Amino acid sequence: MKIHPEGYIIILVAFLLLTVINVLLRWLSPHWLHSIVAGVSVVLLCLIVWFFRNPDRSLIPDVNKVFAPADGEVVAISEVEEPEYFHDKRIQVSIFMSPLNVHVNRYPVGGVVTYVKYHPGKYLVAWHPKSSLLNERSTVAVRTDAGQEVLFRQIAGAIARRIVTYPKTGDTAVQGTDFGFIKFGSRVDVFLPLDADIQVKIGDKARGNETVLAGFKTD
């Protein structure tokens, strides 16, 4: 199992901390207590390692497809006003990531990064209607080689306290490669042109780099 680099330090710190606790308990506590704590420590460390898993999901780039940027449940599909960058109506597709989902974020389209902005904020539950405006979040827009522009927004949840976003304006976005990571429960919103052909429905389970969220109409 491949581990995402964002997890290296956290896993190491957790391993060292749990090791110290278990060594101390071995000498200072009854055997039964140490056995329980040792078992819990192994399970906890395995969960932390599993959270930072980064499955290899390669794809064949397709300029006419928008792939899911994250694993999770499709919780919203609606026509909304996008106030930060487009300032017009777009179709918003939202994917909620529970702590059990893979939390790697991948480019849903390829092209040129036209906009990147991080916003500090609150930590409302990720499915709250105002979380996309009030929570800690990071917005990225990419213009494809076909001229379509797609915006996607990483949104922290009640548990998440750190959003990692790699690109800068002007960077080349390669469809399917990592553009960021959100630690613990969170959400990703994707904003698409009104004429995009949406290919998912609310309640669907999306898988990053595998689920096609939408297609662009071609002449």
**With 80 as the cut, is the pLDDT of residue 131 above it?**
no
Active site residue 186: yes
Q: In this predicted structure, which of 9-13, 102-106, 151-155, 184-188 has the lowest mean pLDDT?
A: 184-188
154, 73 in Cβ contact below 8 A? Answer: no
What percent of the chain is modeled with pLDDT above 70? 89
Q: What is the pTM of this model?
A: 0.84
Q: Are residues 93 and 20 in the same domain?
A: no
**Range of the structural domain that residue 156 is part of:** 65-215
Inside any domain, residue 58:
no
Q: Are residues 47 and 78 in the same domain?
A: no
Domain count, the chain: 2
DSSP letters spanning 31-76: HHHHHHHHHHHHHHHHHHHHHTB---------TTEEE-SSSEEEEE
Say how many CA atoms lie within 13 Å of 1 toward its Cβ.
11
Inside any domain, residue 59:
no
CA trace torsion 4, 94, 147, 114 (10° rounding): -60
**Set 131, 132, 138, 186: catalytic member:** 186
